[in-house]
Structure 1
Amino acid sequence: MARFAKKKEADTFAATAKVEVREGTHVADSASATVKQAGTFWIASAEGAGLERTTVDSYRSHLDLHIVPFIGEMKLSALNIPTVRSLEDDLRGAGRSPAMVRKVLVSLGSLLADAQERGLTARNVVRDIRGRRNGGERRQEKRQKGKLKVGEDIPTRDEVKALVGALEGRWRPLLLTAIFTGLRASELRGLRWKDVDLDKREIHVHQRADRFNTIGKPKSISGERTVPAPPIVINTLREWKLICPKRETGKVDADGNKAAVLDLVFPNGQGKVEQLNNIVRRGVQPAEVKAGISVDTGEVDNKGEPILEARYKGLHALRHFYASWCINRQADGGLGLPPKVVQERMGHSSITMTMDVYGHLFPRGDDAEELAAAEAALLS
């Protein structure tokens, strides 16, 4: 039986239940499953629908680590807006980040949607909450996060020049491609030679490698795209192709010869999918430190020398740089591309995404010099 801390909550539930009973949608406590039981059905639905392994694993993590420990034994019929708001408070009190709390609530909403379809609950209280919120929280989150900043989130032009000069060995072709094409880490790890047109200087993105090293399609239609590559990338890839490790799968062709069918451009030493952690730890960060793109940790090594670490911790900073390079004026060393083309190059699903992340980097067209020229033309 549902219990309420306040009479107002009980009255609200009673009124809602009356409507649900009248409409034939009310689910009594005795017929309602627990959140944990519904979660088991939800995970089975996700697996049965063929969702990506990373997505299912994320759902399972949210369920096992964040939902079940707090409300797993609660009946679905007892869930209401106050209990979900209490879950948010409990998650924050347990040290979950604001981003994680949001993700968990999204997963809980998906769980309840699956339970609705199975007839286990009449309401999806998470969606009720979303419907009542006017976007103010999202705006507040954006204000707190702030805009991407050159020199903090995005490498500067001088830093990239220094980084290019410091690249060597097997990481040089991969990181040059990252800098000058903006491919995601998963797209770089899943890139095949058959998708690199060295003559036309184009890279075609048709697949990616997830964090389990499983090859699959890009997450969205927009992810499949063609990105032009500058000469420095093409020439480096030509040289790299001659020595790139290849993986033989054991399969044989019509002539009885073993066929290297994986054909990855940036594999590990065995020709298999490279781990993202290796790229970052052994490729990106050491190259940054060598190029002087580093910060002092305040510690010293056994020789008394200061220990430095890379200023930009991950591969995504290079993708941010590529976006800024596409946006910047040609006079400033950029490509000066319009927003729609930047969206296509980045593989964003919408122009809204592009403008939300990078809109502040586009030239305003009303700087001091241009205003002066416009004034002179108007008044002459």
Structure 2
Amino acid sequence: MASIRKRSWETRKGETKEAWVVDYFDQHGKRHLKTFTRKKDAEAWSIEARHEVKQGTHTAASESVTVRKAGELWFETCEESRLERSTLHQYRTHLDYHIYERLADTKLSDLNTQTVREFETWLHKNGRSDALVRKALSSLGSILADAQDRGLVSRNVVRERRRRKRNGDRQHEKILAGKHFPTQEEARLILAAASGRWRPLIIAAIFTGMRASELRGLTWDDVDFDASVIHVRQRASLYNELGAPKSKAGRRSIPMGSYLANTLREWKLVCPRRNVKKDADGNVTDPGQLFLVFPNGAGNVENHSNVYRRGFAATQIEAGVSVSKVDDDGAPILDDDGQPVMEAKYGIHAFRHYAISTWIDLGYPHKRIQDIAGHATLSMTMDTYGHLFPNPEADADLAHRAETRLIG
């Protein structure tokens, strides 16, 4: 049972104050009071609280922990799970510089869809990018999921809100050739401009759709020239540490065409080796071992920023696949000679989009694309690339055959 009563009192200054108090018992028979400034809010909260008590999931505000406390418990869980150092660093940043800055002292029981929406708005207004806002909200949802497992909160309002938005009519921007990934002509220009040690890497990215971390962690043992297959069995983190793919679906085998195979065979002859030893005069005494397919000059994992800046970005600019760099006001940035400063049009991940869109154009089955792309589910593939599949002529033919089958 729960009751709502009005409470009035007079301050030391003689001012009359009013509030609405919800008086209720939780599922354990313990009495609680919660105060609101408006009767409307008290009534809405009371309805929700009665439902939670009936379900046995209610957590009173007096017994609830703060977002900061729950965040630290969640982070401890992440550390115990031995997540990659780069992932832990990212989560720590989300906590200290985004979530705690706004919600640190907020009780979990006080979080609702409105406070989550206000938090999202605050992030946007304070200069966070769309991508960062999504990641911060995802981390907040993970905090609440961990708190649910610990019995500290009854609901995960972040994920509830996400499901409602996903089921609504909100439209996501569809990835398009020429905007989000290279067109076929741009890909040709990039291939023609690729040179040196970056050429085989860029060719591999275009034709395999491998992620940057997977390319940086690829070993020669996983390149099977006889079977014309590249096996993805590990990846390199932002800290250049080698480890398993992030998901089970990440382990996969990707078909390799003759052009890519020949390119890799040639590259293997000059590919840097690790543990090369030299004497005092600089003569090689131990040639070392071939290990990584796309290493740095010492045969070790290449830094991600170098791969982009010196490889993918520089090659795009050389190929003319570039755009004018602009300042915060959208005005072109000029060099000392008054010429616009150019920057690469696409990031590394755009080459993955290009590869997958090519498989779609060639008529690869949906499930096969999911497998070689390393997507965890077919819905992930279709949500991102589904709009590239439709074939109006084939759809019309199927409709005609369906009619003929029934009515002749």
TM-score of the two chains, using structure 2 as the length reference: 0.77
Report the number of matched residues. Answer: 355
Match of 1:202 in 2: 229
Match of 1:109 in 2: 141
Q: Distance in 1 between matches of 2:382 and 2:155?
A: 35
Superposed, which structure 2 residues align to 1:1-380 within 5 Å?
4-17=36-49, 25-130=57-162, 135-136=167-168, 139-142=169-172, 145=173, 147-248=174-275, 263-297=291-325, 298-303=332-337, 306-312=340-346, 314-328=347-361, 335-362=362-389, 364-366=391-393
Q: CA deviation at 1:154?
A: 2.4
Q: Distance in 2 between matches of 1:304 and 1:165?
A: 29
Q: Distance in 1 between matches of 2:290 and 2:92?
A: 30
Q: CA deviation at 1:286?
A: 1.7
Q: Distance in 2 between matches of 1:303 and 1:44?
A: 54
The secondary structure found in structure 1 opposite 2:298 is: coil
**Distance change >3 Å, CA 231–CA 23, structure 1 → 2:** closer
Q: Give yes or no for contact 1:2–1:78 (8 Å, CA) kept in 2.
A: no
Gaps of at least 5 residues in structure 1 are 251-256, 329-334
The sequence identity of aligned pairs, in percent, is 48
Q: Distance in 2 between matches of 1:22 and 1:148?
A: 46
Q: Distance in 2 between matches of 1:237 and 1:291?
A: 22
Higher relative contact order (CA 8 A, sep 6+): 1
My pick for the range that moved more, 288-297 or 147-156, is: 288-297
The residue type paired with residue 214 of structure 2 is: E
Q: Distance in 2 between matches of 1:321 and 1:348?
A: 15
The residue type paired with residue 292 of structure 2 is: L
The residue type paired with residue 133 of structure 2 is: V
Q: CA deviation at 1:9?
A: 2.3
**Distance change >3 Å, CA 91–CA 308, structure 1 → 2:** closer
The secondary structure found in structure 2 opposite 1:140 is: coil
Q: Distance in 1 between matches of 2:338 and 2:124?
A: 41
Q: Distance in 2 between matches of 1:267 and 1:37?
A: 42
The secondary structure found in structure 2 opposite 1:226 is: strand
* CA displacement, residues 179-226 of structure 1 (integer Å, 9 cap, x when unaligned): 111111111001001000123221111111122222111122222111
My pick for the range that moved more, 61-70 or 18-27, is: 18-27
Q: Distance in 1 between matches of 2:322 and 2:206?
A: 18
The secondary structure found in structure 2 opposite 1:270 is: coil
Q: Distance in 2 between matches of 1:354 and 1:296?
A: 32
Match of 1:331 in 2: none
Q: CA deviation at 1:258?
A: 8.2
**Distance change >3 Å, CA 296–CA 20, structure 1 → 2:** closer
Q: Distance in 1 between matches of 2:239 and 2:140?
A: 24
Q: Give yes or no for contact 1:35–1:74 (8 Å, CA) kept in 2.
A: yes
TM-score of the two chains, using structure 1 as the length reference: 0.82
The residue type paired with residue 378 of structure 2 is: I
Q: Give yes or no for contact 2:271–2:290 (8 Å, CA) kept in 1.
A: no
Higher helix residue share: 1
Q: Give yes or no for contact 1:32–1:75 (8 Å, CA) kept in 2.
A: yes
Q: Distance in 1 between matches of 2:334 and 2:125?
A: 36
Q: Give yes or no for contact 2:220–2:290 (8 Å, CA) kept in 1.
A: no
The secondary structure found in structure 1 opposite 2:148 is: helix
* CA displacement, residues 122-167 of structure 1 (integer Å, 9 cap, x when unaligned): 443334444655621xx4241xx2x222222221222222221211
**Distance change >3 Å, CA 151–CA 102, structure 1 → 2:** closer
* CA displacement, residues 335-355 of structure 1 (integer Å, 9 cap, x when unaligned): 332222222221122222222
What's the C-alpha RMSD, in Å, of the aligned pairs? 3.2
* CA displacement, residues 338-375 of structure 1 (integer Å, 9 cap, x when unaligned): 2222222211222222222222223505189x98xx99
Q: Give yes or no for contact 1:195–1:203 (8 Å, CA) kept in 2.
A: yes
Q: Distance in 2 between matches of 1:295 and 1:106?
A: 32
Q: CA deviation at 1:43?
A: 0.3
Q: Distance in 1 between matches of 2:276 and 2:86?
A: 24
Q: Distance in 1 between matches of 2:339 and 2:159?
A: 56
Match of 1:253 in 2: none
